Structure formats: C-alpha cells, structure tokens
Amino acid sequence: MARVAVLHNTLDFRGGADAVCAHVCSALQEHHEVTLFTISATPLSTLNEMFGTDAAVPVRQPPAGERLARLFSRADDRFGPQLPLRSALLTRWFRRHAGPFDVAVSTANEFDLPLPSVQYVHFPQFNTDVPGPDGAHDEPLNGLWTRVAGLANRELPADAALIANSSYTAAHVDARYGREPEVLHPPVDPIPGKPWGEREPGVVTVGRIAPDNRTLDAVRVVDGVRERGVDLHLHLVGSTAAAYRSYCERVEDAVAAREYVTLHTDVSRARLEELLGGHRYGLNTKHGEHFGMALAEYVAAGMVAFAHDSGGQRDVVDGAADRLFDSVPTAVDRIAAAVDSGATPRLSPDRFGADRFHRRVRELVDARLG
C-alpha cells in the first residue's frame, strides 16, 4: 500500500473535473493510503452526492484554505474562475508537503511535481500563449501563473504519466509540451431509464448554470424547435455557483417567461437520473467542451444526444454529423429532424463505464510506483 497524494485545484465548481477527482479517490482508496490536496469550500461528501461516488479520504488545505476559496468565489463573478492561479498556489504549497508521499495524481491538469505522478488533463492550464489545433487560448496573467507553477520552460516532468479526457485535449497538450497523452475518457456508468416509447418528448440540458456552458442557448434552441410546431419542453439542470450569480439571474428571468422551461438547481443524483432516464433528448450547448460529462450522461441514459461541433464532444457522439451543430439555428434543425424522423439512440449506455476508468487509473499509479 503506497501513500498517494491527489491534487485538485478546487471542488467548488462541481463539474466534470470534480467528478473525475471523486472517482480517482474512489478508485485508489481501497488499494492505497490517499490524501486529497485542494483549496475548496465544498466538502468531498457533496461530490459523492452529486456523482454517486464513495470517496472518503483525508482532505488537506493550505492555512485558511476554505476562507481563501470563498474569497476566490466572490471574485469569480467579476474576473472569472482563475483556475490556473488556484493550481499554481496549490502546487507551491504541496511541494513543501510532498515528502511523505510515494506518488501524486493530479486530477486538475498539468503540474510540475517533485515526485512521480499521473496527471489527468481536462485541458492544459498553463502556457496558454502556445497555439493548439484550433488556435491559442491565451488568458490574461497566465504567463505569471505559469512561472509561479514552474512550467515556464514548457517541459512537464519526465516521470509523469499524462492522460487526457479526449483526443481534442490530447492534441492541445502535445502542441504545448511536445508530449501526447493517452486518452482515457472520464467515468460515466449506465443510467437506468424508461423504455423509449414511455419517455417524454422533451430536452434535458445538464451543467453549471454559467456563461461558458451557454445555458441560454439551450432555451433559444427549444424556442426555435417549438416555433416549428414541435411540442417540446426543456429541463435545465445544474448548480448555481456564486461565481456566476449575474448569469444565473438572466437564466432565471428567461425561465420565468416560458411555461415550457423548468430550472432545477442542486438536484439530488436520484432526481437527475429520473430526468435523464425519463426524456428522449439531451442537449449540450457549450462550445469547445473539453470532453462533455453531461453529454456522456445523456448517452449513458439512453438518450439521443446533441452537442456543439467542437472540442472533445465529437468523441462522445462518435463524430455523428446529425448529432453535431455549429449554431443555434443548426441545433434547431438537428433536433427537429430527429423528432420528425423518430430517431432513437445509436450508442451503448456503457460506452464510458466507471470500472474501465478505475481499472486504468490503478494501473497507471502502480506503474509509477515501479
């Protein structure tokens, strides 16, 4: 049994990256002594409730870590999430406490770590000035955070095993660091659902209510489908983090003006699965999604899944052109056509099963241990 440090910049956004963190802790805790290092106000138990995991490991934070997380949260609405800053601070602090550990696992992208590591990259967070396959994603002050994190030389540790959540992300890691990671899609177990004929002819959109998820685009898409005479309703399901309170207010106003749109915030896992398993269509409107955990859950629930034609979402729907769109009007066309033709799911609900993910994570950690 080895001593494993799991590093995750923050649990406070409660999204796909946080689900991966909880699953990694779950995968390793029975085989190793695991400690989670993070800067968060959200407890690990909240993630277990949201993602159906059973992670129960000690959590360590920098001095006043929860207070620092709350300060970040208050600033996020104005300045954005600043995840590279959080990661850089976590890296600097962890280096002073790395001595007792045999291996580290990052579940929040690339780190410069002083011990062998497995690094799961949702999207590279440093050196954003380096163009990738679809151009540069440069961010203000990222150069500073890159230097603080120790990655200004654009070299990742030689003893780090790199994993990416999609082929899209892997290509961006290769462009920035000259190393192509293994692709390991995140874990999403099959979700029980009703037979197709018993499902409601409605759309479910899952994800943080946030500008980058383009929640309001989902409303516009369903508006457009209904304008064509299709009686379709929409469920918006997602957390309302304080970081996005201004945008959340706009979404709430849009929902209040439409009787066919319902907003569900901070729902239980049971209720989420009930919605997914009881409806026919899943819609992901985010552009450049690095993978698309919610989209994968639509597949796992036996839904017909639609996504923006960008990023790692193409992996999730297996590149199917009639399930991908590049604009709101095209999304309207795709969904209306699916309803009119009686389209049914093509992909297996166990496409992204958690057992596959857990097994590979354990193998990679064991390989780092020699």
What's the confidence (pLDDT) of residue 15? 82
Domain annotation covers residue 80:
yes
What's the confidence (pLDDT) of residue 138? 81
354 or 79: whose pLDDT is higher? 354
Is there a single domain that holds both residue 39 and residue 181? yes
Task: Give yes or no for residue 37 having a pLDDT over 50.
Answer: yes
Is there a single domain that holds both residue 330 and residue 360? no
Across 342-370, average pLDDT: 96
13 or 241: whose pLDDT is higher? 13
CA distance 90 to 264: 33
Phi, psi for 104 (deg, rounded to 5):
-120, 150
CA distance 291 to 163: 13
Task: Give yes or no for residue 61 having a pLDDT over 70.
Answer: yes
Q: What CATH number is given to the structural domain containing 78?
A: 3.40.50.2000
Across 218-236, average pLDDT: 97
Domain range for 224 is 196-341
Is there a single domain that holds both residue 143 and residue 268? no
Is there a single domain that holds both residue 254 and residue 305? yes
Is there a single domain that holds both residue 217 and residue 305? yes
What's the confidence (pLDDT) of residue 79? 43
What's the confidence (pLDDT) of residue 64? 66
Domain annotation covers residue 346:
no
CA distance 26 to 57: 9
324 or 13: whose pLDDT is higher? 324
Work out whether the CA dihedral 28, 32, 33, 37 comes out positive or negative.
negative
Is there a single domain that holds both residue 296 and residue 223? yes
Domain annotation covers residue 347:
no
Confidence of residue 65 (pLDDT cuts 50, 70, 90): low
What's the confidence (pLDDT) of residue 14? 82
Domain annotation covers residue 262:
yes
What's the confidence (pLDDT) of residue 30? 94
C-alpha dist (Å) from residue 324 to 274, 291, 302: 25, 14, 17
Is there a single domain that holds both residue 206 and residue 317? yes
Nearest-Å Rg of the Cα atoms of the chain is 20
Task: Give yes or no for residue 74 having a pLDDT over 80.
Answer: no
Is there a single domain that holds both residue 202 and residue 296? yes
Domain annotation covers residue 204:
yes
Domain annotation covers residue 218:
yes
Task: Give yes or no for residue 72 having a pLDDT over 70.
Answer: no
Is there a single domain that holds both residue 183 and residue 200? no
**Percent of the chain whose pLDDT exceeds 70:** 95
Is there a single domain that holds both residue 114 and residue 222? no
Domain annotation covers residue 325:
yes
Domain annotation covers residue 79:
yes
Across 135-162, average pLDDT: 91
User: Number of structural domains, the chain?
Assistant: 2
Quote the mean pLDDT of the chain: 93
Q: What tokens appear for 33 in the block?
A: 């002594």
272 or 242: whose pLDDT is higher? 272
CA distance 79 to 356: 38
Is there a single domain that holds both residue 253 and residue 233? yes
Across 268-275, average pLDDT: 92
Residue 207 CB partners (closer than 8 Å, separation 6+):
15, 213, 215, 237, 238, 284, 286, 294
Residues 202-224: tens digit of each pLDDT: 999 998 898 989 999 999 999 99
**Percent of the chain whose pLDDT exceeds 90:** 81
CA distance 21 to 11: 9
What's the confidence (pLDDT) of residue 69? 66
Is there a single domain that holds both residue 171 and residue 229? no
Confidence of residue 12 (pLDDT cuts 50, 70, 90): confident
129 or 242: whose pLDDT is higher? 129
Task: Give yes or no for residue 78 having a pLDDT over 60.
Answer: no
